[in-house]
Structure 1
Amino acid sequence: MKFLYNLGIKIYWYLILIFSTFNKKAQLFVEGRKNLLDQLEKKINSNNTKVLWFHCASLGEFEQARPVIERLHRELPSYRILLTFFSPSGYEVRKNYEVADWIFYLPIDTKQNAAKFLAVVQPAFAFFVKYEFWHHYLSELKNKQIPVISFSAIFRENQLFFKPYGGFYRAILSNFQHIFVQDSQSLELLKGIGLRAVSIGGDTRFDRVKEIVEQKKDFSIVRTFKNNEFTLVVGSSWSPDLEVVAHMINQFANPIKLVFAPHEIGPSYINEIKKAFSKKKLIFYSEATLENVKDQEILVIDNVGMLSSLYQYGEIAYVGGAFDKGLHNILEPATYGIPVFFGKEYSKFKEAVDLVEIEGAFSVKDKFEFAQKFQDFYSNNEIRIEAGRKCKEYIAENIGATDKIISFCTRELQKLENDNG
């Protein structure tokens, strides 16, 4: 299995090299790793530096890492923070994140790369977020007796770790000093394969969204656009989501405002939006003023960075991705205490499963079901408010994962400092 793992890593790298000749994301993946170890060596002087290393696959995992990073940055100022990403989707968006001292791609997981990387960085503590389980890096960390934890992790019984032939992958998990999982099912799965250094830590994104609400920004243009009318906020939409929402909006007979935030802003999708809402009064945020926005029906957000604060203006939220790309962040709207709608593919997202079960969030299988359910919530304030209350309570009940991780980390770092002198 180790041979197959190493072979798979090499094949993956060669395929990325081929794709990089015509695919922008693959190109960024390759370009970001050129001379990477040399760059690290030039920038990090580990002899005089105590480093906390955080590794995230992409942007979603970064949002889980963020509350831990920022707490440790405040509470342990003598340590510096290295943040690495596997995917361009995370690195390219957060490469200028001001709290981290260094931000890099992670070199591909080979024995040579792992040994060189750790020799250069010499982290005092390592944090792997949610799904990252790299054999060579984790083995090398354990060999060097560098504490490493996984947090906000979640496991399912169909994963290789729990198959009869999954011994190699189970051994990877044994390299962690501790694994903080999100739920009891994950805890039981890991205990079932003999792991004992495991506990329920929860999901740090709950702490992050709490901070977002506390630090939310007010946008006067959006507030003026809303004009105290019933508002639907659509976040992180893709083409299938556009079709679902447009069908409802175009045939809706009652007064309504729509704040529409695409996941990606490109000419092709912008044209799709214009076409889908061609019979409505639509304005883009970049063109909106306090004078011209009030009488518009649809406000399209053609920038990034506003979405987490936009949900405060909604009576209902629709979050995109659950028809093809993968459901985006539903915790942000839920924190504001409004019901959340999304598509049918959500079973891999624990928070979505939980919120659907308690009737705070609602999955729709197609545009017709969304139109009907939206009308029900529009017409009945009582069920809408009750659903929003359930969302807000769910968030409140799950806050606190960051405290558990910080407590464990600071305790272990104190032991290391005591042992070293």
Structure 2
Amino acid sequence: MGFLYQLGINLAALLLPVSRFFSPKMKLFVDGRKQSFAVLENQIDKNQEYIWFHVASLGEYEQGLPVMEEIKAQYPEYKLLLTFFSPSGFEIRKNNKIADITIYLPLDTKQNVKRFLDIVQPKMVFFIKYEFWPNYLYELKNRNIPTYLISGIFRKNQLFFKWYGGFYRKALQSFDHFFVQNDASAQLLKSIDFNNSTVNGDTRFDRVAQIVERAQPLDFIADFKNNTTTIVIGSSWVDDEAIYLPYLNNSENVKLIIAPHNIKEEEITRLISKIDKKTVRFTNYKTEELKNADVFIIDTIGILTQIYAYADIGYVGGAFKTGLHNILEPATYGTPVVIGPKYSKFQEAKDLVALGSCLVVHNTEELSITFNRLITDADYRNELGIKNLEFVLKNKNATKVIMDFIERNI
């Protein structure tokens, strides 16, 4: 297995430059990594010590952020290095204010790994959720660099738990401690003789609680809402549109705010062309248009989490595709949540569905029935919203558990 991995990662290093000609995303992926070592060599201060955080994309960044902020506050003598794997995370958060240096993670080849660690020489390393790069992990272990997993979640079908997964199981030995989201993950680790785990939940609960505490009023959203029942559709994909657009075009006495996942101009234009209601968009709205509009398209990034504060109902996209987006953002405002059926990889979704406060729909008919009941039955809507808020509040403080551990071991 190890030989195949090394062969595969080295082939990827050779072939990925070709892929940049066929996909804008791959162009960012490849070109961005070309700059990583130059940035490190220019910006790493050899007189400083660094704590390294690695995230896959935007969701994992949000999970790591509460811990990064606490480390920055409690240990200001350290600088923070943040690496991303995916362009969809890096391009949005490359100018973040928390990390001292933010780059793409160089590919997991042995040569890259040694060069990276020789330059950075991190004091401590945090990987978020499920980023497991064997060559990085092996070398961190070889150098005795403390390494932790935050908000980890494990599933039985992962390679670690297969009879042929020894190469990947060995990589897990690099982690000094696993902070995992649920008991099932801790039990899976124990089944392969890893007893160094703590079940402390998901740091995203701390993050969404921060968002509410720091939220600023959005007067333009209040003007659009105009005391009318409002549905916020967040991070929606084309697959979601196929479900909600028929409802939207036949709805009455309700307003919809749509924040698509893809905000490219051609995608926004295509979406608007399918809407039969009076529609305005964030980038060119006029204040006097808002009160009489039926649909508000949010064709920008960075404000969806605050917009959820104005939602009577939240629909979170991605679960008709392959990856549900963050349902905790509307839940933390005490809003009932509606999602599609592909949510099994998301613990918070499974928990809220079990509570009955996150409702699953499979088609337009189910979505229409669900929305109509939530709109007409205020008591039912409030009951579900309260359950969601209580769930978020109950699961806060995962970050404190991590920081208490770090304080004892730093």
TM bracket, shorter-chain basis: over 0.9
- Displacement of 1:35 in angstroms is 5.2
Report what 2:10 is aligned to: 10
Letter in 2 for 1:347: S
* 1:257-406 pair list within 5 angstroms: 257-278=255-276, 280-406=277-403
Moved more, 166-175 or 16-25: 16-25
What is the alpha-carbon distance in structure 2 between the residues aligned to residue 367 and residue 150 of structure 1? 39
What is the alpha-carbon distance in structure 2 between the residues aligned to residue 292 and residue 227 of structure 1? 12
Retained in 2: the 8 A contact 1:221–1:288?
A: no
Retained in 2: the 8 A contact 1:259–1:301?
A: yes
Letter in 1 for 2:43: K
Letter in 1 for 2:329: E
Question: Secondary structure at the residue paired with 1:234?
Answer: strand
Letter in 2 for 1:272: R
* 1:116-265 pair list within 5 angstroms: 116-252=115-251, 254-265=252-263
Q: 1:140 to 1:209 in 2, by over 3 A?
A: same
Question: Secondary structure at the residue paired with 1:291?
Answer: helix
- Displacement of 1:236 in angstroms is 0.6
Question: Secondary structure at the residue paired with 1:377?
Answer: helix
Superposed CA deviations along residues 22-59 of structure 1, whole A, max 9, x for unmatched, are: 2111111111122532431221133x111110011111
Report what 2:64 is aligned to: 65
Retained in 2: the 8 A contact 1:239–1:269?
A: no
* 1:45-124 pair list within 5 angstroms: 45-46=45-46, 48-124=47-123
Moved more, 380-389 or 331-340: 380-389
**Where does structure 1 differ by over 6 angstroms across 4 or more consecutive aligned residues?**
none
What is the alpha-carbon distance in structure 2 between the residues aligned to residue 390 and residue 44 of structure 1? 46
Retained in 2: the 8 A contact 1:232–1:315?
A: yes
Structure 1 residue ranges without an equivalent (≥5): 414-421
Letter in 2 for 1:5: Y
Letter in 2 for 1:266: K
Retained in 2: the 8 A contact 1:151–1:201?
A: no
What is the alpha-carbon distance in structure 1 between the residues aligned to residue 36 and residue 335 of structure 2? 44
- Displacement of 1:182 in angstroms is 0.4
* 1:14-33 pair list within 5 angstroms: 14-33=14-33
What is the alpha-carbon distance in structure 2 between the residues aligned to residue 261 and residue 350 of structure 1? 24
Retained in 2: the 8 A contact 1:206–1:398?
A: yes
Moved more, 8-17 or 403-412: 8-17
- Displacement of 1:93 in angstroms is 1.0
What is the alpha-carbon distance in structure 2 between the residues aligned to residue 288 and residue 296 of structure 1? 10
Residue 412 (1) aligns with residue 394 (2): no
- Displacement of 1:325 in angstroms is 4.1
Letter in 1 for 2:22: F
Letter in 1 for 2:327: I
What is the alpha-carbon distance in structure 2 between the residues aligned to residue 233 and residue 35 of structure 1? 38
Superposed CA deviations along residues 334-388 of structure 1, whole A, max 9, x for unmatched, are: 0000110111111111111111110110111011110111111111112111111
- Displacement of 1:267 in angstroms is 2.6
Question: Secondary structure at the residue paired with 1:123?
Answer: coil
Question: Secondary structure at the residue paired with 1:33?
Answer: helix
Question: Secondary structure at the residue paired with 1:199?
Answer: strand
Report what 1:40 is aligned to: 40
What is the alpha-carbon distance in structure 2 between the residues aligned to residue 314 and residue 191 of structure 1? 42
Moved more, 48-57 or 25-34: 25-34
Question: Secondary structure at the residue paired with 2:34?
Answer: coil
Report what 1:419 is aligned to: none
Question: Secondary structure at the residue paired with 2:338?
Answer: strand
Question: Secondary structure at the residue paired with 1:258?
Answer: strand
Moved more, 172-181 or 374-383: 374-383
Retained in 2: the 8 A contact 1:244–1:370?
A: yes
- Displacement of 1:142 in angstroms is 1.3
Retained in 2: the 8 A contact 1:342–1:363?
A: yes
Superposed CA deviations along residues 295-335 of structure 1, whole A, max 9, x for unmatched, are: 11111112111100001111100011111141111100000
What is the alpha-carbon distance in structure 2 between the residues aligned to residue 221 and residue 35 of structure 1? 39
Question: Secondary structure at the residue paired with 1:117?
Answer: helix
What is the alpha-carbon distance in structure 1 between the residues aligned to residue 269 and residue 289 of structure 2? 21
- Percent identity over the alignment is 46
Superposed CA deviations along residues 236-264 of structure 1, whole A, max 9, x for unmatched, are: 11112122222112222x41111111111
State the TM-score, normalizing by the size of structure 1.
Answer: 0.95
- Displacement of 1:94 in angstroms is 0.9
Letter in 2 for 1:339: P
What is the alpha-carbon distance in structure 2 between the residues aligned to residue 18 and residue 128 of structure 1? 29
Report what 1:418 is aligned to: none
- Displacement of 1:127 in angstroms is 0.5
Report what 1:417 is aligned to: none
Retained in 2: the 8 A contact 1:243–1:276?
A: no
Retained in 1: the 8 A contact 2:322–2:342?
A: no
Retained in 2: the 8 A contact 1:182–1:201?
A: yes
- Displacement of 1:231 in angstroms is 0.6
State the TM-score, normalizing by the size of structure 2.
Answer: 0.97
Superposed CA deviations along residues 275-299 of structure 1, whole A, max 9, x for unmatched, are: 2212x11111223233221111111
